[in-house]
Amino acid sequence: MSREELINVVGGAKWGFWTIIGSAISFVLGFIEGIVNPIKCGS
């Protein structure tokens, strides 16, 4: 597929939006988990 065809795929922009939102939520939850339940190195 050409670049133009990939851009015009139905739902392509929505998929990108939800991917960014999901990644941000995962990062925040992982960050909070790391603060709440830290794992010491070498234990």
- Residue 19 located in a structural domain: yes
- Residue 5 located in a structural domain: no
- Residue 43 located in a structural domain: no
Give the pLDDT score at 30.
93
Q: Helix or strand or coil: residue 41? A: coil
- Residue 1 located in a structural domain: no
- Residue 14 located in a structural domain: yes
Q: Measure the CA–CA gap between 39 and 18, rounded to whole angstroms.
A: 30
Domain count, the chain: 1
- Residue 40 located in a structural domain: no
The token duo for 8 is 């015009």
pTM of the predicted structure, to 2 decimals: 0.54
Cβ neighbours of residue 6 under 8 Å, at least 6 residues apart? 12
- Amino acid in position 28: V
Give the pLDDT score at 32.
94
Give the pLDDT score at 40.
77
- Residue 4 located in a structural domain: no
- Over residues 1-43, the pLDDT tens digits come to 677 777 666 655 566 788 889 999 999 999 999 899 888 776 5
Give the pLDDT score at 19.
85
Nearest one of 20, 40, 41 to 28, comparing CA atoms: 20
Domain that holds residue 21: 10-34
